[in-house]
């Protein structure tokens, strides 16, 4: 028969079990806190949450082969580094004007928010997006995607196009970046109206509230949006 434990033995045994439980609980608490702390620190100090570059009242010209192609203006510009590719963010919106080789305005875009993916040369404009071509046709939507490499502007959202004599609505839209050859995928209706004739730049100003530079743009500013700097 196994001998019974004395009172002192019971006391020593309970004390030992208590100490073991204390150490076990402390270990669990330590590792749990350590794991949470590391995850929280990584999330807090993630480089994707911190901009590499910040510009206020940003303006720049984008040239190609010595010719001015775009004028960009934004209240704030942020540049981020990401595993999926660097991108520029315009949290307070932007104004983007497209010029032809003779420095004439061929299209323009304004939006309350935008993002540019640098490697893919892809833009996403959101919230109160307004795009206008040289003829004064104005597109209004909540999301517009512009792919420079494909010379393509498109959206799957509801769109409204305002022309000199009609207003066209529908869902889905595709066009070249000059908005010369556009198409609504699913037209919903057309309203014919009578509007007074206006010059192209007056129409663009009225429909987009955009400030279009009135002075000639110099050729000697080879700035690139991939490395944005103030002129």
Q: For residue 132, what pLDDT is reported?
A: 94
* Least trusted range by pLDDT, from 35-44, 63-72, 133-142: 35-44
Dig out the tokens for 98 from the structure.
């497209």
Mean of the pLDDT values across residues 104-131? 94
* Least trusted range by pLDDT, from 64-68, 83-87, 207-211: 207-211
Dig out the tokens for 213 from the structure.
């530079």
| 26 DSSP 8-state letter | H
* Least trusted range by pLDDT, from 3-12, 181-190, 221-230: 221-230
Which CATH architecture fits 50-208? Answer: Sandwich (2.60)
37 has pLDDT over 70: no
Quote the percentage of the chain above a pLDDT of 90. Answer: 44
Q: Is 178 exposed, middle or buried (0-12, 13-18, 19+ CB in 10 A)?
A: middle
95 has pLDDT over 80: yes
Whole-number Å distance between alpha carbons of 175 and 197: 24
143 has pLDDT over 50: yes
Cβ atoms 188, 167 nearer than 8 A:
no
3-state secondary structure 52-115: CEEEEEEEEEEEECCEEEEEEEEEEEEEECCCCCCEEEECCCEEEEEECCCCCEEEEEEECEEE
Cβ atoms 139, 160 nearer than 8 A:
yes
139 has pLDDT over 80: yes
CA 201, 202, 203, 204 torsion-angle sign: positive
Mean of the pLDDT values across residues 131-146? 94
Cβ atoms 191, 166 nearer than 8 A:
yes
Q: For residue 114, what pLDDT is reported?
A: 97
Whole-number Å distance between alpha carbons of 145 and 122: 7
Q: Provide the pLDDT confidence category of residue 40 given band limits of 50, 70 and 90.
A: low
Whole-number Å distance between alpha carbons of 215 and 217: 6
Whole-model pTM?
0.64
């Amino acid at each position: 028969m196994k001998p019974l434990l004395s009172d002192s033995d019971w006391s020593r045994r309970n004390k030992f079990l208590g100490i073991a439980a204390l150490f076990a609980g402390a270990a669990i608490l330590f590792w749990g806190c350590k794991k949470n702390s590391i995850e929280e620190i990584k999330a807090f100090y993630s480089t994707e949450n911190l901009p590499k570059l910040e510009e206020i009242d940003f303006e720049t010209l984008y040239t190609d082969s010595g010719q001015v192609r775009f004028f960009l203006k934004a209240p704030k510009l942020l540049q981020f580094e990401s595993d999926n590719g660097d991108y520029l963010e315009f949290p307070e919106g932007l104004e983007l004007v497209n010029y032809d080789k003779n420095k004439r305005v061929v299209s323009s875009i304004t939006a309350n928010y935008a993002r540019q993916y640098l490697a893919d040369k892809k833009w996403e404009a959101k919230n109160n997006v307004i795009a206008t071509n040289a003829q004064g046709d104005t597109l209004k939507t909540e999301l517009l995607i512009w792919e420079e490499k494909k010379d393509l502007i498109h959206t799957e959202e509801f769109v409204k196009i305002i022309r000199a004599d009609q207003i066209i609505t529908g869902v889905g839209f595709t066009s070249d970046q000059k908005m010369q050859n556009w198409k609504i995928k699913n037209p919903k209706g057309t309203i014919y109206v009578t509007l007074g004739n206006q010059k192209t730049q007056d129409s663009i100003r009225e429909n987009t509230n955009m400030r279009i530079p009135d002075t000639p743009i110099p050729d000697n500013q080879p700035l690139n949006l991939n490395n944005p700097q103030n002129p």
